[in-house]
A and B are shown apart, each in its own frame.
Chain A
Amino acid sequence: MIRKIAVLGGITKSGVRETLRMVEIYPGEIVAVVGPTGSGKSQLISDIEYWADGDTPSRRQIQINDQVPAEFAVETSLRRLVAEISQNMNFVIDMSVRDFLLLHAESRHIENALEVAKAVVDCANQLTGEPLMMDDSLTALSGGQSRALMVADVALLSNAPIVLVDEIENAGINRLSALRLLAGRGKVVLVVTHDPLLALLADKRIVMQNGGMAKLLTASPSEKVLAGRLQKIDAVLCELRERIRLGGELTPEAIKEVTWPDAQRVSA
């Protein structure tokens, strides 16, 4: 049972100690990782995926329940505790969706592999536009289809207690449904994002700067209210997006009918 994951601070890209010396994350929490491009967001989640022990460019060390990973479990079990959606938009591996999912299930010691594989494909198809098939070649999938499959694979097949997500907002899939799917109950979830809505929906956020963890913020009540409003605005945007991408035209009447959430001021 994971009770806590701790990231012990290492060094920034300039080689000096990073500001935050320790960040603790508990099951059930969603933590956003924000920062400019190149500030080390992907490196931070890759450190967790790798169970860094001072041996990555950031020199961070990851602990689990106050223990070093090697004391907590053997390497093969440790690997299975983490599921990661990396920033890669496409598959490189050349095999069919079916073979890939079956082999992935085997590597994760999953028993009813074929059933799970089917569920993954169904789930991916709910996230994406044009459906993908079991017999499709992975490399022929579009960027969005690939991302949808990666999300479904992490959510249903890997189903790990620690979930790491690197920028799902750019894939043309519904990022909120994707996040809901990924952030199952009681999981440790880290989400790298440039999206204000995703960042504010999280419980905490780590601010990255020059490769180091510079700040840890807890979502304030007023930020939560703002997140609620952003979510409503987002729903309108999503609805418009769907209409436009299905070939719809927006007549002056249709535009008039778009209802925006009221513009009241947000007070703390």
Chain B
Amino acid sequence: MRLVIVAGPPATGKTSVMLHTLRHILTDKIRVAVCKIDCLETSDHSTYRRLSLPVMVGLSDYICPDHFYVSNLEEIFAWGEKQQAEILVVETAGLCHRCAPGIKGCLSICVVDNLSGIDTPKKVGPVLTTADVVVVTKGDIVSQAEREVFRRRIEMVNPAAHVLEINGLTGQGALRLKKVVLASPSIEGVEGRELRYPMPSAVCSYCNGETVIGSRYQMGNVKKIVYREVSND
């Protein structure tokens, strides 16, 4: 089974892009299953269902969705196999982008959009820098020059990435992503495989539901801010 990880900031067009891409893939009679990982709520499953695919949703609730995703990868993979899927797409909602869900040996797609600001490629971090494919959406809203400048910024932080411009509304560009997905390697299982980037530890009292502010209430892995004067330059 091919495991395809799709990540990126909220509302950049992950679902829209995958919907078009999967529609193309399904015309080849390839079996696909989709899993969506989110925190509190999502309606993505009903969107994917439109393609009549097996869809599963995992809500992380009080746990960081990226950590939740890693802790459940084996189960998700097993579910995909049970569906007899040849391609399993996992769309993750990742919150802070300090974590990257990419797995060594599996296709990792990061979706960003042209509207998210010129510094986004730098800020997004490992989820973008470790991706094999960076999809850029919403090019219909900006000028060609802006698209080129945005693409340049992406190439600066991830020179190895395959950058694809896809219109999430019309699906323009999705056939090119289909080819990349079909060319990605198939794997036997996820056990023993490695993340492309370590997830930072986040085991503090607030991870466990603490709500009261103050050092007295903080336990575990707490990191305190280091002050630095910021001058106007």
Contact = CB atoms under 8 A, between A and B. Distances in A.
Q: Do A and B come from one complex?
A: yes
Interface of A: 46, 49-50, 53-57, 79, 82-86, 88, 91-95, 100, 103-104, 106-108, 150, 153-154, 158
Contact of A92 (B114, B153, B176): B114
Contact of A107 (B117, B152, B170): B152
Nearest to A149: B145
Contact of B148 (A57, A85, A94, A107): A107
Interface stretch (B48-56, B69-77, B136-144, B209-217): B136-144
For A100, A103, A153, which residue has the most chain B Cβ atoms within 10 angstroms?
A: A103
Given A56-B170, A56-B172, A85 B143 contact: yes
B115 A92 contact: yes
Interface string B137-170: 0000111111011111100000000000100001
A84 B171 CA distance: 20
B173 interface: yes
Contact of B143 (A46, A94, A150): A150
B175 interface: yes
For B114, B117, B148, B152, which residue has the most chain A Cβ atoms within 10 angstroms?
A: B148
Contacts of B141: 88, 92
B118 interface: yes
Interface residues of B, number: 24
B157 to A, nearest CB: 14
B26 to A, nearest CB: 16
B152 A103 contact: yes
Contact of A55 (B118, B144, B145, B173): B173
A104 B118 contact: no
15 contacts: A55-B174, A57-B171, A57-B172, A84-B144, A88-B143, A91-B142, A92-B114, A92-B141, A93-B149, A104-B149, A106-B152, A107-B152, A108-B148, A150-B145, A154-B144
Contacts of A50: 165, 172-173
Contacts of B117: 93-94
A106 B170 CA distance: 30
B148 A55 contact: no
A150 B171 CA distance: 26
B171 to A, nearest CB: 7
A95 B153 CA distance: 13
Contacts of B150: 93
Contacts of A53: 175
Contacts of A94: 117-118
A104 B170 contact: no
A93 B172 contact: no
Nearest to A100: B149
A106 B151 CA distance: 11
B121 to A, nearest CB: 12
For B142, B143, B151, which residue has the most chain A Cβ atoms within 10 angstroms?
A: B143
Contacts of A55: 172-176
A94 B175 CA distance: 31
B93 to A, nearest CB: 24
A55 to B, nearest CB: 4
A83 B151 CA distance: 15
A121 to B, nearest CB: 14
Nearest to B169: A57
Given A88-B141, A93-B150, A154-B145, 13 more contacts: A50-B172, A53-B175, A55-B172, A55-B173, A83-B144, A86-B144, A91-B146, A93-B142, A95-B118, A103-B152, A104-B148, A106-B152, A108-B148
A107 B171 contact: no
A108 B151 CA distance: 11
A57 B142 contact: no
A85 to B, nearest CB: 7
Interface string B115-131: 10110000000000000
A147 to B, nearest CB: 10
B153 A103 contact: yes
Contacts of A46: 172
Contacts of B118: 93-95
A84 B118 CA distance: 20
Contact of A158 (B145, B152, B173, B174): B145
